[in-house]
Amino acid sequence: MAAGALPVKGGDGVRNAMTNSASRSIYDEGCVCARGAKASGVALLLVLALLMPACQAWGGRRTESRLGAFDYRKTDNGILICAPHGTYDRRTDEIAIAAARKLGAGYVVARGFTPGGVRINVNRPTEGAGMSSSREPRTRRSREVYEDYAELVRKAAGGERLRLYVEVHGNSSPLSAFKIELATTGIGRAEARELKDAFSGIIQGVRRKAPLYPRLALMVEPIDTLFFSSGGVKTFGIMADPLVPRALHFELPASVRTSRMTGATADLVAAIVAAAAGRSADGGKGYDQRERFTPRRWQ
């Protein structure tokens, strides 16, 4: 934890009703719209055209455990979008599935996994929230849940190295109220800068169709210092797995995860993922954030 920082709860609690599908909203749930993107917008539209199937059938599978349930779908394009805290981080399950659908990607979503109000972290073999990852208890049940999750990620990846692994999380920190934090692995400084440059066009396109959508900034590793640096999952969780050479870890503020905004947020996430995936085969060497992490910030 950074000096002087106050303990902040990473998620925002378990919602009362769990839903199994992405909800419709004031924002059109159809194709990702990147209109408004400037120079990089043309390339982004080409990426989306290549990635997005035209009205293909959509469906996944479910596996149950005594502490929760997983929904998953195998990827067809090497992109996997996941929500390890699908119900604890409000509506991230809906956002992950909707974004995956827009891109024709696979997904793994965890629901439940909060026995007695304690969060099983799922994407790493620990439990507990609101503490540094080095202090999170490692328990038998958290290890078993993590092993189940890792196996589903491997299954959804088809046993192959992923082109891009993505996690969608949410927080209620006032320090992140007007920004999206994007922790990364395998992403270099030049690519991070391109994502930030493309974001101005992406958010303009989202707000054109959803005028009430909040004005947000995008913070991207390794060029920005983040509050939620996701160190545990990078060092001893799923992002340390050889199948995950490149990863994006979204931290979304509560304002973009309301029932009326989830559709727009799914489109925003899909557009950012498409922009990052478009660079994954260019041979550029990314800067691996796992090499620089020191577990000081709250997860």
Q: Are 266 and 22 in contact (CB under 8 A)?
A: yes
pLDDT digits (tens, 9 = 90+) for 217-253: 999 999 998 877 777 889 899 999 999 999 999 999 9
pLDDT at 175 over 50: yes
Quote the mean pLDDT of the chain.
80
What would the mean pLDDT of 95-120 be, rounded to a whole number?
96
pLDDT at 69 over 80: yes
What does the alpha-carbon distance between residue 243 and residue 153 come to, in Å, rounded to a whole number?
9
Q: What is the pLDDT of residue 10?
A: 53
Domain residue ranges of the chain, discontinuous segments joined by +: 39-291
pLDDT at 24 over 80: no
Q: What percent of the chain has pLDDT over 70?
A: 74
Q: What is the pLDDT of residue 173?
A: 86
Range 166-200 burial, b when 16+ CB lie within 10 A, else e: bbbbbbbbeebeebbbbbbbbbbeebbebbbebbb
Q: What is the pLDDT of residue 232?
A: 83
- More confident site: 41 or 97: 97
Identify which of 166-180, 197-211, 227-241 has the greatest average pLDDT.
197-211
Q: What is the pLDDT of residue 64?
A: 92
pLDDT band at 278 (very low <50, low <70, confident <90, very high): confident
Helices (H), the chain: 39-51, 92-103, 140-156, 189-209, 231-235, 262-277
Q: What is the pLDDT of residue 23?
A: 34
Q: Name, in order, each residue with C-beta under 8 angstroms of 282's C-beta and a sequence gap of 6 or more.
A: none
What does the alpha-carbon distance between residue 299 and residue 84 come to, in Å, rounded to a whole number?
13
Q: What is the pLDDT of residue 20?
A: 37
Tell me the CA distances in angstroms from 240 to 137, 264, 285, one per residue in order.
19, 31, 17
Identify which of 7-21, 33-47, 102-116, 170-184 has the greatest average pLDDT.
102-116
Residue 9 exposed, middle or buried by CB count within 10 Å (0-12, 13-18, 19+): middle
Q: What is the pLDDT of residue 259?
A: 95
Short-list 166, 149, 37, 159, CA closest to 105 = 166
pLDDT at 130 over 50: yes
pLDDT band at 3 (very low <50, low <70, confident <90, very high): very low
Q: What is the pTM of this model?
A: 0.78
Q: What is the pLDDT of residue 185?
A: 94
- More confident site: 137 or 58: 137
CATH class of residue range 39-291: alpha beta
